[in-house]
Amino acid sequence: MKMIQKKYKDNLYLDNLMVEYHQSLDEGIDIEKYESLFKSVAKMPNCDIKEKIADALNELVLSLPQKSDYKYNEPSELDEIKKLRKPYIFKNQRPDCETLSDKIHGAWLGRIIGCLLGKPVEGIRTDEFTPLLKQSDNYPMHRYILSTDITQEMIDTYKFGLRDKCYADTVDGMPVDDDTNYVTLAQLIIEKYGRDFTAENVADAWLRYQPKTAYFTAEYVAYRNFLEGYEPPYSAVYKNPFREWIGAQIRGDYFGYINPGNPELAAEMAFRDASISHIKNGIYGEMFASAMIACAAVTDNIKDIILGGLAQIPSTSRLYEEIINVIKDYENGVTYYDFFKKLHSSYDEYDGHGWCHTLSNAIIVAGALLYGEGDFGKSLCLAVQSAFDTDCNGATVGSIIGMCLGANAIPEEWSKPVNDTLHTSILGVGTVSVSECAKATMKHVLYE
């Protein structure tokens, strides 16, 4: 009789037990004595026994205490987060309705342009990225990577696949991407559930409006957890080794768009969204990004925007400490190239956990904003050139600087490839006009 063999290709937890271990270390969980156990189980072939042991390891992680000497205080509950914030007040200029409309359009465009800039090289590492840019006469990066930059010799030489990518000169608009899907989905959530939407509403929208192929890492784990009956916030922790990765940080832009000048409310909305799939710094990343966008609607001072965003997350967190250090280094004259070296010495882009973590990528966002000095193209290019999650960071920086400047100030060489067209995989939405999305956003704006 032929034996039926179970397939384990879809079990992210089995394949990422060492990510779980390193994530637990990051959180200060007292887990080091179990390192050899994690390594041994990780080496096992996927099978029923490994799955049972992995389930037990997940229970172990959830039960272990935090080290007594851990220096950070990082809650995942909104009330506790608010208690640990450090207020920051800055002068702001409230734009009139017409100006705000242009800013929101700029934020949409900026996100899409930044994503398009980074999308062809998403996943490339610096050892190939920098030579690629130099070989195509685009270093320091100052424009889109084009299909005409890519020679057959380069395709044959580089390990990173360069064939048939979404180059700016080959697209009819912004191709489908999770970074742009989520801003469109957020607009749908506000339209359907209102500004008082709940975490459960977000989970419901995920099940209704996106196919499972649209989800990755923490989002995919959360999606699977919803299907298995796990509700927020438990959906964020059950067998989720990616719980502090960048996934939430790319989802909160719309909450900044509709709360201009109100970073606190933008961050609260971002919390509701993030808490279904992330914890701690994974949540803070989305709150930080959303709040920065809300600040960018009323000031073009980059330091105020960053500190205004930080004011919505715990000042006792790793994310807060990292971004404050970026600001200090910038103000002390550290060059972008030294910033780049420090980033890459602190976080390993060749390791998936370092490459996709909220912290490494949030550092790039802050650094690109500071060293970009308010210039649209320069800011986006620095975000992408820094490597790590290129399209995510380009998109977040694009939202912020696009909100600062407005659509009318974005140079045509950046906006033209977008063609006012955004392709999505949101069910029932499909392809939309960017300008129409921006107009629809104004209906959701709270601006008092």
| DSSP result, 168-196 | TTT-SSBPP-HHHHHHHHHHHHHHHH-TT
- Tell me how far apart the alpha carbons of residues 363 and 324 are, in angstroms, rounded to a whole number: 10
Distances from the Cα of 139 to the Cαs of 15, 29, 47, 144, 441, in angstroms? 37, 42, 47, 11, 36
Residues 84, 210: one domain?
A: yes
In a domain, 374, yes or no: yes
**Which residues of the chain, if any, have pLDDT below 70?**
1-10, 447-448
- Tell me how far apart the alpha carbons of residues 316 and 334 are, in angstroms, rounded to a whole number: 25
Distances from the Cα of 96 to the Cαs of 66, 93, 298, 445, in angstroms? 49, 9, 10, 13
Judge whether 47 and 82 are in contact, CB under 8 Å. Answer: no
Residues 415, 316: one domain?
A: yes
CA 329 to chain centre: 23
**Terminal-to-terminal C-alpha distance of the chain:** 72
Residues 428, 310: one domain?
A: yes
pLDDT tens, position by position, 319-342 = 999 999 999 999 999 999 999 999
In a domain, 269, yes or no: yes
What's the one-letter identity of residue 180? T
219-258 exposure pattern, b = at least 16 Cβ within 10 A, e = fewer: bbbbbbbbeeebebbebbbbbbbbbbbbbbbbbbbbbbbb
| pLDDT score, position 25 | 98
Residues 185, 252: one domain?
A: yes
Judge whether 125 and 411 are in contact, CB under 8 Å. Answer: no
- Tell me how far apart the alpha carbons of residues 60 and 66 are, in angstroms, rounded to a whole number: 12
Tokens describing residue 233: 């916030």
In a domain, 73, yes or no: no
Q: Give bridge partners of residue 433 from the DSSP assignment.
A: 421
| pLDDT score, position 11 | 82
Total tally of structural domains belonging to the chain: 2
| pLDDT score, position 446 | 78
Candidates 78, 107, 108; CA nearest to 298 is: 107
Residues 26, 109: one domain?
A: no
Angle at 140 between CA 137 and CA 141, to 5 degrees: 75
Residues 184, 41: one domain?
A: no
Q: Residues 365, 370, 371, 376: is their CA dihedral positive or negative?
A: positive
Domain containing residue 282 = 78-121+172-444
In a domain, 159, yes or no: no
Residues 282, 410: one domain?
A: yes
| pLDDT score, position 448 | 61
- pTM of the predicted model as reported, rounded to 2 decimal places: 0.96
Residues 206, 338: one domain?
A: yes
pLDDT tens, position by position, 64-121 = 999 999 999 999 999 999 999 999 999 999 999 999 999 999 999 999 999 999 999 9
Residues 59, 176: one domain?
A: no
Residues 22, 112: one domain?
A: no
Residues 38, 186: one domain?
A: no
| pLDDT score, position 3 | 36
| CATH number of the domain where residue 94 is located | 1.10.4080.10
- Tell me how far apart the alpha carbons of residues 61 and 66 are, in angstroms, rounded to a whole number: 10
Residues 53, 97: one domain?
A: no
Share of the chain above pLDDT 90, in %: 96
What's the one-letter identity of residue 96? D
